[in-house]
């Protein structure tokens, strides 16, 4: 058969199979049997046994997951002549996660075969830098350079080395008349900010000799920042020299704020720094001092103009004032409104507390009253100061039932649900995420309703978070796994609301959750902790994967949580800190003074993540008490922290 006829026959076969797979309705055969048949065929392909995969795939053309089998068949037999079938697959259903995976394989194949026109025609933005650079190089080769300089510049501006595939586009870029030393310096600055001093030296090879020497000085100062004041090469008052000196101060401040302050004092002499530059340096040093719990942090913060309101500076001022219980300064500092990235409720709450501690209850109460209307940790603690009930304000989502039904019929969502049913959660989440990334706020709320109905709670919670919809408490705080939670809470003498709060904080009710550090399951139990706790309660874990089973996880997680509560005298705040950061750290953080107000203790936990976690657990516990139709315990009870002297520290001293 002539090659051209073979090619057309192959395209016809691929197009027919693709059309059947993407448009035919599912047959009325046994759904479970088809699911298992799909799983076996897919596994065969993934294991590299295409012959067995083809045999097992026969007859599954109408299954919703057929495109995955078709994808496996196509990508293993792909040639540059398959453009029509590839484009049809990519375009099916208006685009899909799987289609984009085939696109990546297709683009790589076209690049290997030098099919530059096809590569340009079929290109869509890729996360892989090497492939993006192949596309840029293809445009250079095809002389399609309109707007190309700025596109290549975006790739050029990185503080790290680029793959060899970028060399052709970068060579074109550097040969353009627009390219100058400024582009090189911009990349050097990025490299130095990322700690890539050796790479900065490589980039500098394109600079004149005097500039190369300046880069070498910068690299030396990166290693020994306190030597910056004595370098004659840095005597000039240029923008480049100022950047180098700022780098020295910032790098030294991370190690020792006092030495950085001394260096900055020396660098100021004989140079012309703008007021903004001086404020920037002072802020860098002051924020670093607070992070180091430096004894001079208050004084350093006071050197920054009071109206300078960056979020980093405000967080540092808040932490420094709370650590020292310097209420007068806190009152003065909080006169400025919260910065854009600052938690405005937190900022306002501590302004009210400063007034109260200074004896000005009249000034504190209006702020408390304003905050008490918020469904938030700070709103509820403010309500506690006023003796008011908490505001829950549950508002069910408003949605269109027809839209929810239509959403469930989207091919990508149908595939996501099939994978969810099969327990193939990675594939399920990929399909789901691809779909919701294309939705507006209304679409996200529709997706959340659908996921909630399917008991896919983490997807529902995250969809509402992305849509910034926080009022539907039933969807955001589901009662999933309630029978198991109540069983193990009863066994351990725990409150179900506390267990549900921990689960919501840890995994958002995803039984197969895995953290980057290896924690597993609903309550995110570390394997070593799981084995130790299982042994204590007389249960045997065969493998770490056993912790991904909901019942095993709750059995062991509840026992560990109970041990933390017992260790810290029933204090939920301390137990939550221990659960997140470890009991040894929590023990070190226990208050030792005669009186540390419990709200202050929470907000001065050294780890940002743990501070947020403890606040969330306390907040979520009250929400779950309400959801379980139980009396809501006052924040003062939940916040109470037992110090090393055995004294119970409540919301405020004297309470």
Per-residue pLDDT reduced to its tens digit, 70-129: 999 999 899 999 999 999 999 999 999 999 999 999 999 999 999 999 999 999 999 999
Per-residue pLDDT of 347-370, as tens digits, reads 999 999 999 999 999 999 999 999
Name all domains of the chain by residue range, CATH numbers in brackets: 3-124 (no CATH), 401-470 (1.10.1240), 482-649 (1.10.530.10)
- Local confidence band at 346 (pLDDT 50, 70, 90 cut-offs): very high
Q: Find out whether 528 and 556 touch, Cβ atoms under 8 Å.
A: no
Q: Find out whether 375 and 393 touch, Cβ atoms under 8 Å.
A: yes
pLDDT at residue 3 tops 60: no
Per-residue pLDDT of 461-516, as tens digits, reads 999 999 999 999 999 999 999 999 999 999 999 999 999 999 999 999 999 999 99
- Local confidence band at 650 (pLDDT 50, 70, 90 cut-offs): low
CA 299 to mean position of chain CA atoms: 34
Q: How far apart are the C-alpha atoms of 530 and 513, rounded to whole Å?
A: 15
pLDDT at residue 518 tops 60: yes
pTM comes to: 0.90
Per-residue pLDDT of 5-19, as tens digits, reads 333 333 333 343 333
pLDDT at residue 308 tops 90: no
Q: What pLDDT was estimated at residue 9?
A: 36
Q: What pLDDT was estimated at residue 597?
A: 87
Inter-CA distances, 477 with 38, 322, 573, Å: 35, 32, 20
Q: Which long-range contacts (CB under 8 A, 24 or more apart) does 42-51 make?
A: 42/68, 42/69, 42/72, 45/69, 45/72, 45/73, 45/76, 46/72, 50/76
Quote the mean pLDDT of the chain: 92
Mean pLDDT, residues 640-647? 70
Q: How far apart are the C-alpha atoms of 499 and 284, rounded to whole Å?
A: 41
CA dihedral sign, ordered 550, 553, 559, 561: negative
C-alpha dihedral over 164, 168, 170, 173, to 10 degrees? Answer: 180
Record the tokens describing residue 459, joined without a space.
């997807």
Inter-CA distances, 362 with 324, 357, 358, 378, 386, Å: 24, 12, 11, 19, 12
Record the tokens describing residue 165, joined without a space.
């595939």
Q: What pLDDT was estimated at residue 153?
A: 98
Mean pLDDT, residues 578-598? 88
- Local confidence band at 230 (pLDDT 50, 70, 90 cut-offs): confident
The rounded percent of the chain whose pLDDT value lies above 70 is 93
- Local confidence band at 609 (pLDDT 50, 70, 90 cut-offs): very high
> What is the SS3 assignment for 59?
coil
pLDDT at residue 163 tops 50: yes
Q: Identify the residue whose tokens are 């055995």.
A: 646
pLDDT at residue 312 tops 90: yes
- Local confidence band at 426 (pLDDT 50, 70, 90 cut-offs): very high
Q: How far apart are the C-alpha atoms of 135 and 143, rounded to whole Å?
A: 12
Which of 453-467, 474-488, 582-596 has the weakest average pLDDT? 582-596
Burial label for 619, CB within 10 Å (0-12, 13-18, 19+), is buried
Per-residue pLDDT of 379-417, as tens digits, reads 999 999 999 999 898 999 999 999 999 999 999 999 999
DSSP code of residue 520: B
Per-residue pLDDT of 537-559, as tens digits, reads 999 999 999 999 999 999 999 99
Mean pLDDT, residues 45-68? 95
Residue 586 region by backbone torsions, left for phi larger than 0, else alpha for psi between -120 and 50, else beta: alpha
- At residue 113, φ and ψ (nearest 5 deg) are -100, 5
Q: What pLDDT was estimated at residue 359?
A: 96
Q: What pLDDT was estimated at residue 641?
A: 76
3-state SS track over 79-145: CCCCHHHHHHHHHHHHCCHHHHHHHHHHHHHHHHCCCHHHHHHHCCCCCCHHHHHHHHHHHHHCCCC
Per-residue pLDDT of 269-293, as tens digits, reads 888 999 999 999 999 999 999 999 9
- Local confidence band at 595 (pLDDT 50, 70, 90 cut-offs): confident
Q: Find out whether 189 and 243 touch, Cβ atoms under 8 Å.
A: yes
∠ CA 496-501-503, rounded to 5°: 95
Element (H, E) at 563: helix 550-567
Nearest to 633 by CA among 567, 570, 568, 554: 570
């Amino acid at each position: 058969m002539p090659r051209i006829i073979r090619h057309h026959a192959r395209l016809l076969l691929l197009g027919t199979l693709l059309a059947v797979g993407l448009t035919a309705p599912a047959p009325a055969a046994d759904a479970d049997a088809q699911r298992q048949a799909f799983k076996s065929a897919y596994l065969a392909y993934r294991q590299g046994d295409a012959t067995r995969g083809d045999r097992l795939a026969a007859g599954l053309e109408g299954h919703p997951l057929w495109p995955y089998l078709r994808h496996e068949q196509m990508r293993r037999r792909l040639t540059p002549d398959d453009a029509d079938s590839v484009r049809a697959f990519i375009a099916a259903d208006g685009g899909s996660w799987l289609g984009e995976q085939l696109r990546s394989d297709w683009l790589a194949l076209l690049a290997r075969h030098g099919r530059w026109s096809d590569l340009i025609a079929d290109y869509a933005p890729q996360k892989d830098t090497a492939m993006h650079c192949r596309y840029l190089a293809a445009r250079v080769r095809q002389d399609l350079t309109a707007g190309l300089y700025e596109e290549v510049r975006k790739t050029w501006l990185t503080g790290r080395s680029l793959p060899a595939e970028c060399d052709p586009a970068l060579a074109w870029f550097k040969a353009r008349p627009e390219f100058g030393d400024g582009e090189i310096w911009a990349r050097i600055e990025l490299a130095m900010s990322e700690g890539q001093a050796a790479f900065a030296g490589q980039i500098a090879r394109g600079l004149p000799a005097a500039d190369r020497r300046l880069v070498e000085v910068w690299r030396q100062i990166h290693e020994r920042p306190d030597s910056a004041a004595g370098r004659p090469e840095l005597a000039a008052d240029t923008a480049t020299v100022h950047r180098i000196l700022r780098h020295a101060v910032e790098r030294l401040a991370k190690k020792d704020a006092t030495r950085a302050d001394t260096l900055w004092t020396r660098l100021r002499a004989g140079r012309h720094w703008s007021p903004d530059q001086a404020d920037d340096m002072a802020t860098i040093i002051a924020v670093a001092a607070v992070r180091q719990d430096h004894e001079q942090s208050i004084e350093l913060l006071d050197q920054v103009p009071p109206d300078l309101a960056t979020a980093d500076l405000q967080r540092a001022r808040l932490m420094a004032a709370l650590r020292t219980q310097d209420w007068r300064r806190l009152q003065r500092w909080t006169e400025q409104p919260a910065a854009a990235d600052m938690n405005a409720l937190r900022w306002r709450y501590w302004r009210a507390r400063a007034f109260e501690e200074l004896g000005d209850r009249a000034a504190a109460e209006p702020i408390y009253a304003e905050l008490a209307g918020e469904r938030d940790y700070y709103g509820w603690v403010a309500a506690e100061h006023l003796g008011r009930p908490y505001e829950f304000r549950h508002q069910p989502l408003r949605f269109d039932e027809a839209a929810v039904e239509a959403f469930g019929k989207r091919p990508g969502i149908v595939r996501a649900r099939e994978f969810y049913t099969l327990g193939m959660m990675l594939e399920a989440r990929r399909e789901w995420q691809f779909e919701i990334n294309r939705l507006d706020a209304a679409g996200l709320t529709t997706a959340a309703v659908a996921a909630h109905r399917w008991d896919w709670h983490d997807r529902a919670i995250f969809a509402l978070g992305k849509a910034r919809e926080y009022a539907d408490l039933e969807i955001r705080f589901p009662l999933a796994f309630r029978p198991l939670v109540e069983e193990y809470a009863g066994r351990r003498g725990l409150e179900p609301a506390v267990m549900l709060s921990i689960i919501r904080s840890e995994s958002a009710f995803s039984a197969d959750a895995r953290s980057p550090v290896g924690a597993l399951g609903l309550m995110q139990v570390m394997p070593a902790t799981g084995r130790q706790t299982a042994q204590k309660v007389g249960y045997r874990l065969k493998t770490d994967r056993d912790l991904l089973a909901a019942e095993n996880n709750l059995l062991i997680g509840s026992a560990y949580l109970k041990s933390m509560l017992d260790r810290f005298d029933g204090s939920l705040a301390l137990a939550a800190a221990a659960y997140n950061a470890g009991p040894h750290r929590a023990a070190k953080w226990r208050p030792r003074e005669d009186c540390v107000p419990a709200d202050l203790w929470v907000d001065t936990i050294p780890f940002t993540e743990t501070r947020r976690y403890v606040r969330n657990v306390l907040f979520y516990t009250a929400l779950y008490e309400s959801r379980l139709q139980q009396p809501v315990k006052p924040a003062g009870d939940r916040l109470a922290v037992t110090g090393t002297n055995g004294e119970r520290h409540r919301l405020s001293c004297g309470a």
